[in-house]
């Protein structure tokens, strides 16, 4: 078996090389190295079919590549782990850092709290303001992370930074800002090698059971209200469709588009069980949770014929549809349907949280903190999702919302005051006058500002 590693230079490469040489000498490995994960698509272009599997240095480079290249072989990614963060925290403590004064990127705030609890560290760490939360995998991710760490350090609020982004760590080091790279332990790499080996073996084995996976995208009632045209609908659907086809490739399956929002994937039971770790891990649901307002319902059915498998998948799908949120159900051996199953990153507390099916929780939070209507926040969300890099001029937003510049500026001012928007740069006008602001909005959590700090204190 030949495995390609698309990973950062130095530590990631050294770890992956050591694992392959020490534990899997019978397999071939090739290393495609980058400084910036946005180079991943170019490194892999026209080379996928030379590998039986490709392992990326993280979920972000895999998703970024998936949006730019069709998946032609098995893909997997080395996940963020508590072990990597614990090692980084131990190093921080050895350096004499106050564990309550560290900035983080790319980790969810709930994950950080859990890790701190695991080590029995009772601190007043301000994870709301000292963490970016989960960053999107767009091209501006590195720049956003770097700006966050740099600003909060120059304000004197932290002793140092912990990042999972190799490029950010490199730049912070060049700027002499104390930082630690949370690189994965060998065991995390070893687990991914084992995973792709199992999936490769299952793909080449004879199927004992046929499996059908039905997928339905539940567009909420307010979706049409938030859109100015069918263009945003097509952009959203196209992005989701890419993930469906990526998921199909992982299952070695065939996609049938039943309707604009319904899809069927034909695969085998063995492959689906391995790809989803016995139905416990669904990367496509993780992606939906972090990147879309829509709810994805999945039903998996198994049988000795395609007709039986599809019938069982339909029964499982009906269960998922009742949840009106991202979930999967499975009907395999008997009449008993198992589930619901969720994405790996979703905690039990989140799973049981009563969710309004029409409005996403994070947009409700933004609307509440910025004193804007939910409808306005939804419109801005769809506007930003249509952009390639997530950055825009106030004039462009004004035209999209069909509002005056003054009204749009007031909206942006409220988002800035609540920490959800910031000026990412400035663009010189062709004519004389003040440079135009380039804005960026963060939907996964506010940057700390004086106003947000006051609100938290209140």
- Per-residue model confidence (pLDDT) at position 322: 83
Cβ atoms of 195 and 76 within 8 Å: the answer is yes
For 1-79, CATH number? 3.40.50.10330
Between CA 264 and CA 134 the distance in angstroms is 30
Contact assessment for residue 163 and residue 106, using Cβ atoms and an 8 Å cutoff: yes
* Distant-in-sequence, close-in-space partners of 188: CB < 8 Å, separation ≥ 6: 78, 79, 81, 83, 84
- Model confidence over 169-203: pLDDT tens digits? 999 999 999 999 999 889 889 988 988 887 787 66
CB-CB contact of 113 with 133 (8 Å): no
**pLDDT score recorded for residue 430:** 58
Are 1-79 and 82-181 equal in CATH topology? yes
Interior angle at CA 40, CA 234 and CA 390, nearest 5: 40
Q: What is the mean pLDDT of residues 11-22?
A: 93
CATH classification (class only), 361-457:
mainly alpha
Distances (CA, A) of 157 to 6, 100, 101, 112, 125: 35, 10, 7, 18, 11
Distance CA 297, CA 370 (A): 31
Is the per-residue pLDDT at 328 higher than 70? yes
Query: Best-predicted range by mean pLDDT among 116-125, 240-249, 362-371, 372-381?
Result: 240-249
Class of domain 82-181: alpha beta
**What pLDDT, on the 0 to 100 scale, is given for residue 123?**
66
More confident residue, 63 or 454: 63
Most confidently modeled range among 47-56, 200-209, 405-414: 47-56
Element (H, E) at 425: strand 421-427
pLDDT tens digits along 291-304: 776 789 999 998 87
Closest by Cα among 433, 54, 12 to 181: 12
DSSP string, 341-379: E--TT--HHHHTS---TTS-HHHHHHHHHHT--HHHHHH
For residue 208, the model assigns a pLDDT of 54
Residue 453: is its pLDDT beyond 80? Answer: no
Say what the pLDDT of residue 429 is: 65
Mean of pLDDT values over 388-401: 80
Domain residue ranges in the chain: 1-79, 82-181, 208-350, 361-457
Nearest to 82 by CA among 351, 444, 345: 345
350-360: per-residue pLDDT in tens? Answer: 344 334 444 46
Q: Write down the pLDDT at residue 364.
A: 79
Band (pLDDT 50/70/90 cuts) for residue 135 is: low
Give the homologous superfamily in CATH for domain 208-350. Answer: Reverse transcriptase/Diguanylate cyclase domain (3.30.70.270)
User: Is residue 222 pLDDT above 50, yes or no?
Assistant: no
Q: What pLDDT band is residue 112 in, cutting at 50, 70 and 90?
A: confident
pTM greater than the 0.75 cutoff: no
């Amino acid at each position: 078996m030949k495995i390609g590693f698309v990973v950062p230079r130095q530590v990631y490469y050294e770890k992956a090389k050591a694992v392959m040489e020490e534990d899997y000498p019978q397999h071939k490995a090739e290393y495609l190295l980058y400084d910036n994960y946005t180079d991943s698509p170019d490194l892999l272009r026209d080379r996928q079919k030379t590998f039986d599997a490709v392992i990326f240095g993280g979920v972000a480079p895999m998703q970024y590549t998936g949006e730019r290249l069709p998946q032609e072989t098995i893909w997997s990614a080395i996940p963020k782990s508590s072990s990597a963060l614990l090692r980084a925290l131990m190093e921080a403590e050895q350096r004499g850092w106050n564990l309550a004064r560290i900035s983080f990127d790319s980790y969810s705030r709930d994950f950080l709290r859990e890790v701190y609890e695991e080590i029995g560290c009772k601190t007043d760490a301000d994870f709301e303001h000292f963490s970016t939360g989960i960053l999107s995998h767009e091209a501006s991710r590195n720049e956003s992370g770097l700006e966050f760490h740099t600003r909060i350090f120059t304000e004197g609020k932290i002793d140092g930074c912990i990042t999972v982004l190799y490029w950010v760590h490199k730049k912070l080091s060049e700027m002499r800002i104390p930082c630690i790279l949370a690189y994965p332990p060998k065991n995390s790499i070893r687990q991914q090698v084992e995973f792709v080996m199992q999936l490769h073996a299952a793909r080449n084995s004879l199927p004992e059971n046929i499996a059908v996976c039905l997928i339905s995208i539940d567009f909420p009632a307010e979706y049409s209200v938030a859109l100015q045209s069918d263009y945003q609908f097509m952009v959203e659907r196209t992005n989701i469709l890419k993930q469906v086809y990526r998921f199909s490739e992982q299952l070695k399956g065939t996609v049938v588009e039943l309707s604009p929002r319904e899809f069927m994937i034909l695969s085998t039971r063995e492959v689906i069980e391995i790809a989803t770790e016995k139905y416990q891990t669904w990367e496509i649901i993780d992606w939906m949770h972090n990147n879309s307002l829509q709810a994805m319902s999945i039903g998996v059915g198994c049988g000795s014929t395609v007709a039986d498998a599809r019938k069982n998948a339909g029964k499982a799908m009906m269960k998922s549809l009742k949840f009106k949120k991202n979930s999967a159900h499975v009907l395999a051996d008997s009449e008993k349907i198992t589930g619901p199953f969720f994405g790996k990153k979703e905690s039990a507390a989140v799973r049981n949280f009563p969710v309004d099916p029409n409005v996403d929780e994070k947009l409700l939070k933004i609307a509440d903190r910025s004193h804007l209507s939910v409808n306005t926040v939804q419109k801005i969300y769809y506007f930003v999702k249509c952009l390639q890099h997530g950055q825009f001029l106030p004039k462009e937003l004004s035209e999209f919302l069909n509002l005056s510049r003054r009204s749009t500026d007031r909206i942006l001012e409220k988002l800035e005051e609540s920490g959800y928007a910031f000026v990412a740069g400035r663009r010189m006008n062709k004519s004389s006058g003040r440079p135009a602001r380039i804005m960026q909005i963060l939907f996964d959590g506010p940057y700390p500002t004086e106003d947000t700090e006051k609100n938290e204190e209140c």
